[in-house]
Structure 1
Amino acid sequence: MKPGRDSLNTKKTLTAGGANYAYFSLAEAEKQIGDISRLPFSLKVLLENLLRFEDDRSVTVDDIKAFAEWQKSGKSTREIAYRPARVLMQDFTGVPAVVDLAAMRDAMKQLGEDPEKINPLAPVDLVIDHSVMVDYFGGPNAFEKNVAREYERNGERYQFLKWGQGAFDNFRVVPPGTGICHQVNLEYLAQTVWTAEANGETYAYPDTLVGTDSHTTMVNGLSVLGWGVGGIEAEAAMLGQPISMLIPEVIGFKLTGKLPEGATATDLVLIIVEMLRKKGVVGKFVEFFGAGLDNLALEDQATIANMAPEYGATCGFFPIDDETLRYLKATGRADDRIALVEAYAKEQGLWRDASTPDPVFTDTLELDLSKVVPSVSGPKRPQDRIDLQSAPQGFAAALDKEYGKADEADKRVSVKGEDYTLGHGDITVAAITSCTNTSNPSVLIAAGLVARNARAKGLTVKPWVKTSLAPGSQVVTDYLDKAGLSDDLDALGFNLVGYGCTTCIGNTGPLPEPISNAINENDLAVASVLSGNRNFEGRISQDVRANFLASPPLVVAYAVAGSMNINLTTDSLGKDQDGNDVYLKDIWPSNKEIAEVVREHVTAQMFASRYADVFKGDDKWRAIDAGDGQTYQWPTSTYVANPPYFDGMTKEPAPVEPINNARVLALFGDSITTDHISPAGAIKEDSPAGEYLKSHQVPVQEFNSYGSRRGNHDVMMRGTFANIRIKNQMLPGTEGGVTKYAPSSEVMPIYDAAMKYKESSTPLVVVAGEQYGTGSSRDWAAKGTILLGVRAVIAQSFERIHRSNLIGMGVLPLQFAEGESWSSLGLTGDEEITIEDVDQISPRANVSVSIKFANGDTKTITALVRIDTADELDYFRHGGILHYVIRKLAA
């Protein structure tokens, strides 16, 4: 960290835990800029950041003063430059970021400059957590077998990451089999108050970060301001570039009361997601306040913060209070760090207690915790919450409206070689997985107790259900073992399958072949129930249409029930040993029982022990020979390849090429997510990516997932826009990544059409509706777009991260005028589009777009340039943010 000029003289000294720390005082700033006492806590964190980095260039005193003005009105149009303290990555999104760093070193060398200029300037932690797949389940050796398969599949990637760990300064790797990045962050990496040495002093300041996963927001439960960005933005942050952003609106979410008996943190967050989606908080901060915070454990707060992407906010922030200190102590943080957190928060006005006045917010909403009821969300969006008692009706409605099968609701089909039948609504996947819930001991213990009670009653899981337990850290196994609950979960088939993000990201692994065949041969709409945060179409399994989010104990109960058609609140789950009906209430533990088990069996020593050698890895990791050298010796690999972004790069940027007579590659409706755009899940044999792998002698059983091959651009560009559920409106009524090649009207995969257009040097555009690019912050949704030859995306509105990522790769985002859309213009995708004066654009200016229809008619419309800031314009003119950084460092 290199502090700025501090023209307001806010630097002071704080003593805590027997040590002295320099810090930038908000109280001193207030004396000069005006009242900031009731700023939201999250904005105080941003304000401190500007005080620390004020340089009269990227950060000015006027930027700082804008926060006092914000408090008066609850909003601002001021653009600021924000520098997070650190960067967090997972391996799916981290591998391409490290690939880019390695390629940037090559580019620097080609420009005649020192490649070692390319190094993270901010600390970077990469946690390998997204590569384990549930190939084996329901048995005592599932974990060992899945880990062995993981290393077999990912050896080339892991060798590359281990090279990066040695080659780059300020870069640490948490090896496979340790945990989910967000849980490792919450339990170990995050400090709430960060420290760094500069100019012979130790500075204390708020712990902040950006991450290459949208659920980076989880750590806001520990009062660490952070959110997900694309890998492109993350790379810029680690290379010293500030993140340009407007001072956000902050929605205050007041919590009162206490959760009732039988309700979990998962039920609470599903209601919060529903409320905030209805409110509309995209691009805004949400900050939680009110007396109800006193009745929420920090783990519950982290559960809520985790799902900020699902409720649409940039982040969901919780202030520092006594519960923060309790959690830091409970997870084995050092005493001197805890003392610093308390002293710093109280000195800086960042501490919350009963006497704290409510901050000023842009707007507020309120929830009485006592009104929370057990819930599920589905069948395809996290915000579509259903009261548990209404879940069968919810599935029935989807069977009718989503799948058009209401007239065959009772259909049952035989499964080859099995003595049971399968029907619509049967649950074929029940997974306790994902960062949202496996970081929370209360719901994990509750799941174990449900399993214990079900086992005692003689209940078993239905034979068509694929069960799995994928905790977010090894500590979970420790406390489940200590409480004796692992045996009960194992007995119901919820054996440990790995430490990582599995089912929630599509690493579900294959269903047993007879079940998969029965589903596909009979077009069954079967279901999954998972304790995750994402349930978008096609994400969990290509065999499973309906996906429902639920708490871990409900996942266990649904696995026993075996069907979404069963009402867990009123119907019998099965018979006990004496032939009596067993109901959910008979096996559900009380809140008191859950709390007692947590208190007795979750200890600080577990955290201290598990994280003592967190970067060491197992024998398999330590045995990897990664080589050395400051530039990477690229092997012939279908996992890791040197991308073409910097081919022919010069020290000075060339003028932006015109976009004349561009063809429409795809025409999309509303809510096209980055899950639709970005390659994800399994690679189909007959897809362009599958054909590429076969041409490189990769057998089908070794295809692995798109996520595992994110370091190879040849695979990833072939999987862009290839989601099996994506709907290109150029071909109404079809699903999947296909398009119409306009010159011949031939229907073909989007990749194949893009390559044909490339042969004739024809530029491409994508046209879409509202909320284009919602979903995970995936860099490949932008990288794949540019590699296919798409020069611009014209949509009715954009999601924040994806819009930024498009610019970061040199793609121009344009927004239709208010009330205008491709539908209202009568577009079919056969048009030719010219964007006027693309080399003369300026931030948020209007630009003329000329449309030539297939019949020869022409029409000119005005679109809004969604390059919002001067920095973004620089990135666009350089051909992307990485080119900009290389040229800046080379200069």
Structure 2
Amino acid sequence: MPSLDSLKSLKTLEVSNKTYHYFSLPDAARTLGDLDKLPMSLKVLLENLLRWEDNHTVTGDDLKALADWLIERKSHREIQYRPARVLMQDFTGVPAVVDLAAMRAAVAKAGGDPQRINPLSPVDLVIDHSVMVDRFGDDKAFGENVDIEMQRNGERYAFLRWGQNAFDNFSVVPPGTGICHQVNLEYLGRTVWTKEEDGRTYAFPDTLVGTDSHTTMINGLGVLGWGVGGIEAEAAMLGQPVSMLIPEVIGFKLTGKLREGITATDLVLTVTQMLRKKGVVGKFVEFYGDGLADLPLADRATIANMAPEYGATCGFFPVDDVTLDYLRLSGRPDETVQLVEAYCKAQGLWRLPGQEPAFTDALELDMGSVVASLAGPKRPQDRVALPDVSQAFSDFLGLAVSPSKQEEGRLESEGGGGVAVGNAAQVGEAEYEYNGQTYRLKNGAVVIAAITSCTNTSNPSVMMAAGLLAKKAVEKGLQRKPWVKSSLAPGSKVVTDYYNAAGLTEYLDKLGFDLVGYGCTTCIGNSGPLPDPIEKAIQQSDLTVASVLSGNRNFEGRVHPLVKTNWLASPPLVVAYALAGTVRTDLSSEPLGEGSDGQPVYLRDIWPTQQEIADAVMNVSTGMFHKEYAEVFAGDAQWQAIEVPEAATYVWQPDSTYIQHPPFFEDVAGPLPIIADVQQARVLAVLGDSVTTDHISPAGNIKLDSPAGRYLRSKGVEYKDFNSYGSRRGNHEVMMRGTFANIRIRNEMLGGEEGGYTLHVPTDEKLPIYDAAMRYQDEGTPLVVIAGQEYGTGSSRDWAAKGTNLLGVKAVIAESFERIHRSNLVGMGVLPLQFRAGESRKTLGLTGKEVLNITGLTGATLQPGMSLAVQITREDGQQENIDVLCRIDTLNEVEYFKAGGILHYVLRQLIAS
């Protein structure tokens, strides 16, 4: 573990009659200088470097650079960070295990021992992304959805069970248990980690990387962790350090308390808006201030969860008594709680009253100023106060495409460019029949109301508030509107236990919020189909309808392909909008409906008081956590009945449509690829600002007439069995056909029309992007993607980079990149190139019909942040030369790129040794 030079800082700690060894930050400060003012999150990084100092990957200069951060409160030094563990969910986990299986196959092919391929760090994979809301609104919904999930995903689940048996250090939490981040918060996370080595027990901060953006939720527990792409996570679990620049740290001071009637969701939407406006992309955010003393752990986790939405790498909360209280409540052993307190106090990682660390910059919020809010209609940072939601929807409905509107960017699409969805005078309604009754569906109708996602279902206060509001609504005689698809998908079984204990389940059920499953569901697009008559009414009249969900993502096309506006809200507001049935009602002043006594019922009439919520939360007990996590890895009878072959290497099934042997490592035993200039490249797509990984990576439903749909039909798969792209991430044939195929992506080569199409420029033929890419590959033509700002924002989807690679894209030239996606592009051997300040696709007048030469690579010594030349040849033959910034940011990334990618680098090292 450490070098001999580091042993001077090695000390012992006696806790619960056990001796722990640890690397002392106070001792290191004698050499490095005073560390008291260093942000807590950077102290965790410093301990990591201290523990791993080996004078090779980590040197004394690295330690000094972190201590010297206090001088300028920023640093340009690259460090090698080694997290203690890795967290995965099944959508991103399956392709990671596929890659591990393919690496074992490559090692075996090269004559090596395949069992050398194993995670070196503990890996927990939680199956939480596969359950869909097929059935809802009755007591059979949960059982039927689970049965359908097992039928749809049996092949994937068998593969994961093989992986659990075949790989060391790899655990799988079966389906129907909970959302990975809530399981992490309630069970897996420890705040202080331990490891047995050389007869000693070492204690050190619990740290991790995860293959989901919202891994940051665990920051609420004082655990430093963030989301990375599956590619980077695989490298981390195979022993590669995470290469990173020492970050800037933005302090966020919290004071005061939330007022009566204001929820943690309202707080987090306010924090998200403030930090987005501040600009914290690629930075750490650390919360401090005496307001933390009254901020429950679940509220901290809610704020930390949405770090990707405010753009930060993480949203860290320090350890204090609130942390210990939660560890006890959630059933952590007494010795763990005692160790956390003793270790954090010994290391200066314990929050003290009045503490004011030094930050790069800071902002402050009096929590007493927070008001009831939603976010929408299609970006999580666009907070709207509750009274303004109706007007915000009307503004969206009347939005006309105009240069001025697009420049404002207020409602600009994540796919680039505004979209006209009607005009202010548009009435927009349709008549439909459902269950023998005739109804009128109008613009603004709430067709999906979902209590779902990791953000809020981990928080007993907002969940109890939803249950109490449901109880009062039922007692007043209110019902949800018949066009609302309502669902309850908790993040863990503990939620069901405390709802039952509080006597609230029956009231949620009466309003149609029956349990549909334990998983992410609606927030990741697993909302399932709407009833046929409602879908037809929306399509026939081109209605602009709404979803209201307690999630963290509301990007266009994500929740449901027919729902154009999506609103993030607290669980009680989700229930309220299900009762109102439309976002065009001002819930702050207009009635939700008429009660059984014929009188109007307002939201204020049924909103629970803080005391009522606090009393209900008292039903949450430690015994519930002990009960639900006692056999967390066992699974139900269906899971245990899955037959698993016992073999060190996976037996690939040629006819499988879920799991296929990927082509990434076919030539890995050969010489290193030659780094060469990109010559005579064509543009595959020209995209706008804030293109998300949802737009790039295959996600959601597979359309019947899409390239992926045609592939599945050619394999004999019926449309009803297509499942989702996410569930088929283990099959590169499906995934590469779905890359850039999102129904809401807008390619400016086609005038910005929606859908995954492009021009095959030589023939001027409009084709699906996959078909055009394959034609270019047949012609030997390399490809480039052009984009605007924040390219690759959103979830950490490794297939956004893998699919880009397989389509033959050699480079992406954008105005700026989201952190994880930029890293993933490098990890798959795709060049991320950035326009110089003041230049863009617009200033250069790029149409996508140009021919591009990217030079400066052939024969050059690849360096982080080097300049490359791009020669642009236009349709009329005129040429223009520009310089772009190569966003290979670190020396490690240089080595990865030269090897063909990060996993190729690891595998080549293993084969060579």
> How much does 1:3 deviate?
3.4
> How much does 1:385 deviate?
0.4
Question: CA-to-partner distance for each residue in 1:637-661, whole Å, 9 max, x for gaps?
Answer: 1111110011233243132243110
User: 1:858 aligned to 863, 879, 884, which one?
Assistant: 879
Unaligned runs of 5+ in 1: none
Separation (CA, whole Å) in 2 of partners of 1:167 and 1:68:
42
Separation (CA, whole Å) in 1 of partners of 2:708 and 2:514:
33
- Residue in 2 that maps onto 1:700: 719
Separation (CA, whole Å) in 1 of partners of 2:148 and 2:563:
24
**Are 2:275 and 2:310, in contact at CA under 8 Å, matched by a contact in 1?**
yes
> How much does 1:171 deviate?
0.1
User: 1:868 aligned to 889, 896, 899, which one?
Assistant: 889
Question: CA-to-partner distance for each residue in 1:718-751, whole Å, 9 max, x for gaps?
Answer: 1100111101111113111000001101001000
Separation (CA, whole Å) in 2 of partners of 1:123 and 1:388:
44
- Residue in 2 that maps onto 1:736: 755
1:609-758 matches, within 5 Å, as 609-635=627-653, 636-758=655-777
Secondary structure at 2:639 match in 1: helix
Question: CA-to-partner distance for each residue in 1:794-839, whole Å, 9 max, x for gaps?
Answer: 1111111000000000001111111111221121111111111324
Secondary structure at 1:415 match in 2: strand
1:793 and 2:792 are equivalent in the alignment: no
1:328-727 matches, within 5 Å, as 328-354=327-353, 357-401=355-399, 403-417=420-434, 418-599=437-618, 601-635=619-653, 636-727=655-746
Separation (CA, whole Å) in 1 of partners of 2:233 and 2:389:
40
Separation (CA, whole Å) in 2 of partners of 1:577 and 1:660:
73
Separation (CA, whole Å) in 2 of partners of 1:153 and 1:5:
54
**Are 1:434 and 1:471, in contact at CA under 8 Å, matched by a contact in 2?**
yes
Question: CA-to-partner distance for each residue in 1:223-251, whole Å, 9 max, x for gaps?
Answer: 00000000000000000000110110000
Secondary structure at 1:826 match in 2: coil
The 10-residue stretch of structure 1 (64-73 or 380-389) with the greater mean CA deviation from structure 2? 64-73
Separation (CA, whole Å) in 2 of partners of 1:795 and 1:413:
42
Secondary structure at 2:139 match in 1: coil
Secondary structure at 1:884 match in 2: helix
**Are 1:8 and 1:32, in contact at CA under 8 Å, matched by a contact in 2?**
no
Secondary structure at 1:406 match in 2: coil
User: 1:843 aligned to 831, 846, 864, which one?
Assistant: 864
**Are 1:111 and 1:651, in contact at CA under 8 Å, matched by a contact in 2?**
no
Separation (CA, whole Å) in 1 of partners of 2:396 and 2:346:
53
Separation (CA, whole Å) in 1 of partners of 2:41 and 2:94:
30
- Residue in 1 that maps onto 2:209: 210
What is the identity, as a one-letter code, of the residue corresponding to 1:398? F
Separation (CA, whole Å) in 2 of partners of 1:569 and 1:837:
60
> How much does 1:409 deviate?
4.3
Separation (CA, whole Å) in 1 of partners of 2:673 and 2:233:
25
**Are 2:429 and 2:541, in contact at CA under 8 Å, matched by a contact in 1?**
no
Secondary structure at 1:645 match in 2: coil
What is the identity, as a one-letter code, of the residue corresponding to 1:91? D
What is the identity, as a one-letter code, of the residue corresponding to 1:748? L
Secondary structure at 2:824 match in 1: helix
Separation (CA, whole Å) in 1 of partners of 2:433 and 2:511:
23
- Residue in 2 that maps onto 1:67: 66
Separation (CA, whole Å) in 2 of partners of 1:189 and 1:174:
11
Secondary structure at 1:430 match in 2: strand
**Are 1:8 and 1:29, in contact at CA under 8 Å, matched by a contact in 2?**
no
Question: CA-to-partner distance for each residue in 1:541-575, whole Å, 9 max, x for gaps?
Answer: 01100000000000000000000000111101111
Separation (CA, whole Å) in 2 of partners of 1:559 and 1:849:
53
The 10-residue stretch of structure 1 (217-226 or 627-636) with the greater mean CA deviation from structure 2? 627-636
The 10-residue stretch of structure 1 (728-737 or 124-133) with the greater mean CA deviation from structure 2? 728-737
**Are 2:428 and 2:541, in contact at CA under 8 Å, matched by a contact in 1?**
no
Question: CA-to-partner distance for each residue in 1:5-37, whole Å, 9 max, x for gaps?
Answer: 443721111111221100000001100011111
1:828 and 2:826 are equivalent in the alignment: no
What is the identity, as a one-letter code, of the residue corresponding to 1:625? E
1:248-327 matches, within 5 Å, as 248-327=247-326
Separation (CA, whole Å) in 2 of partners of 1:294 and 1:247:
29
> How much does 1:113 deviate?
1.3
1:91-106 matches, within 5 Å, as 91-106=90-105
**Are 1:211 and 1:227, in contact at CA under 8 Å, matched by a contact in 2?**
yes
Taking a change above 3 Å as real, the CA distance of residues 299 and 710 of structure 1, as seen in their structure-2 partners, is same
Separation (CA, whole Å) in 1 of partners of 2:217 and 2:307:
8
Separation (CA, whole Å) in 2 of partners of 1:70 and 1:393:
46
Separation (CA, whole Å) in 2 of partners of 1:328 and 1:687:
48
TM-score in terms of structure 2 length: 0.96
Identity %: 64
TM-score in terms of structure 1 length: 0.99
What is the identity, as a one-letter code, of the residue corresponding to 1:717? M
Question: CA-to-partner distance for each residue in 1:488-526, whole Å, 9 max, x for gaps?
Answer: 000000000000000000000000000000000110000
Secondary structure at 1:489 match in 2: helix
Question: CA-to-partner distance for each residue in 1:243-266, whole Å, 9 max, x for gaps?
Answer: 110110000000000000000000
What is the identity, as a one-letter code, of the residue corresponding to 1:391? V
**Are 2:221 and 2:319, in contact at CA under 8 Å, matched by a contact in 1?**
yes
Separation (CA, whole Å) in 2 of partners of 1:682 and 1:392:
29
1:772-791 matches, within 5 Å, as 772-791=791-810
Separation (CA, whole Å) in 1 of partners of 2:6 and 2:129:
45
**Are 1:98 and 1:164, in contact at CA under 8 Å, matched by a contact in 2?**
yes
**Are 1:651 and 1:890, in contact at CA under 8 Å, matched by a contact in 2?**
no
> How much does 1:403 deviate?
4.1
**Are 2:6 and 2:51, in contact at CA under 8 Å, matched by a contact in 1?**
no
1:153 and 2:170 are equivalent in the alignment: no
> How much does 1:291 deviate?
1.1
Separation (CA, whole Å) in 2 of partners of 1:610 and 1:220:
23
What is the identity, as a one-letter code, of the residue corresponding to 1:676? H
Separation (CA, whole Å) in 2 of partners of 1:641 and 1:332:
41
- For this pair of structures, how many residues does the alignment match? 888
**Are 1:6 and 1:51, in contact at CA under 8 Å, matched by a contact in 2?**
no
**Are 1:89 and 1:124, in contact at CA under 8 Å, matched by a contact in 2?**
yes
Question: CA-to-partner distance for each residue in 1:281-336, whole Å, 9 max, x for gaps?
Answer: 00000000001111110000000000000000000000000000000000000000
**Are 2:421 and 2:544, in contact at CA under 8 Å, matched by a contact in 1?**
no
- Residue in 1 that maps onto 2:178: 179
The 10-residue stretch of structure 1 (581-590 or 837-846) with the greater mean CA deviation from structure 2? 837-846
The 10-residue stretch of structure 1 (415-424 or 683-692) with the greater mean CA deviation from structure 2? 415-424
- Residue in 2 that maps onto 1:138: 137
Secondary structure at 2:309 match in 1: helix
**Are 2:429 and 2:543, in contact at CA under 8 Å, matched by a contact in 1?**
no
> How much does 1:864 deviate?
0.7
Taking a change above 3 Å as real, the CA distance of residues 699 and 47 of structure 1, as seen in their structure-2 partners, is same
Secondary structure at 1:287 match in 2: strand
**Are 2:250 and 2:362, in contact at CA under 8 Å, matched by a contact in 1?**
yes
Separation (CA, whole Å) in 2 of partners of 1:144 and 1:309:
33
**Are 2:433 and 2:439, in contact at CA under 8 Å, matched by a contact in 1?**
no
- Residue in 1 that maps onto 2:192: 193
What is the identity, as a one-letter code, of the residue corresponding to 1:411? G
